[in-house]
Amino acid sequence: TTGKIDLQLELTRYIFVQLKRLNNNGSNILVNCPTLFDGKESVIKLITGLITISDTIANALNFINKIINAMNFTPTEVFVPCAEQIGKRRDYRSLQQLLQSIRENGYTDNKLHDDIIETCVRQSGSDVEQSREQDTLIQMIKNDDTRINVYMAVGKLRAAYLIAIRLGREDKVHSIRDDAQKSGQTAVYDICKKWLENRASEQ
């Protein structure tokens, strides 16, 4: 279609300008630079490449929106792989910018918002150096269950425990206790065990 050809031309020009700005031929970012006429998987790779090379997330999103509309992709299909890419680089500031740009572009679905953060944090894993930045992101997750699971995934079991007891979630406290035992977090194991014993005696 003509619309897709025009968008591809516009995109090629944009990629060229961004790579020139980076003084990079793109060989390590956009390997065999995919086009809009390749399969879905390749187009998603193109989109995650745009996030990596763009001077601002807002500029990248301008194109990503056009691609979503032209290709009839769902926001989840597009933004979750972007979050994965950002998570690999542990670039939490970029993720904050992505979330802000997504909201500003009218993507207000809470599940999408949570999925993006969860994917990024799970991909980044336990990050001691940027623990506070990672925490800030996890605290932005709106669904309590998801927040507990993400804290557990990166070994922040005390934080997971505090949410679980606030919600009275015995099942989650059991899981946190088991994780604490496996990972040698004895203080967390002890408080979980005590909470579960008190809970059992109340029933």
Under 8 Å CB-to-CB from 174, ≥6 apart: which residues?
A: 192, 196
Q: Which residue has the higher pLDDT, 27 or 99?
A: 99
Residue type, 27: S
Q: Which of 143, 165, 190 is the last residue of a domain?
A: 143
Measured between alpha carbons, how far is 185 from 58 in angstroms, rounded to an integer? 41
40 shares its domain with 73: yes
83 shares its domain with 132: yes
Count of domains in the chain?
Answer: 2
Alpha carbon 3 to chain centroid distance?
31
Average pLDDT over residues 30-57: 85
Polymer length of the chain = 203
Cα Rg of the chain, angstroms: 21
Measured between alpha carbons, how far is 56 from 10 in angstroms, rounded to an integer? 17
Is the Cβ–Cβ distance between 145 and 118 less than 8 Å? Answer: no
Q: What is the pLDDT of residue 84?
A: 94
How would DSSP label each residue in 153-195? HTT-HHHHHHHHHHTT-HHHHHHHHHHHHHHT-HHHHHHHHHH
Q: What is the pLDDT of residue 167?
A: 96
Instruction: Provide the pLDDT confidence category of residue 116 given band limits of 50, 70 and 90.
Output: very high
Instruction: Provide the pLDDT confidence category of residue 135 given band limits of 50, 70 and 90.
Output: very high
Q: Which domain holds residue 119?
A: 2-143
Q: What is the CB neighbour count within 10 angstroms for residue 64?
A: 26
123 shares its domain with 149: no
99 shares its domain with 157: no
Q: What is the pLDDT of residue 34?
A: 83
pTM of this prediction? Answer: 0.87
Q: What is the pLDDT of residue 30?
A: 59
How would DSSP label each residue in 34-81? --TTS-HHHHHHHHHHHHHH-SSHHHHHHHHHHHHHHHT--HHHHHHH
Q: Which residue has the higher pLDDT, 21 or 82?
A: 82
Q: What is the pLDDT of residue 176?
A: 98
177 shares its domain with 129: no
For residue 128, pLDDT beyond 80: no
Q: What is the pLDDT of residue 96?
A: 93
For residue 177, pLDDT beyond 80: yes
Of 52, 65, 78, residue with least CA distance to 105: 65
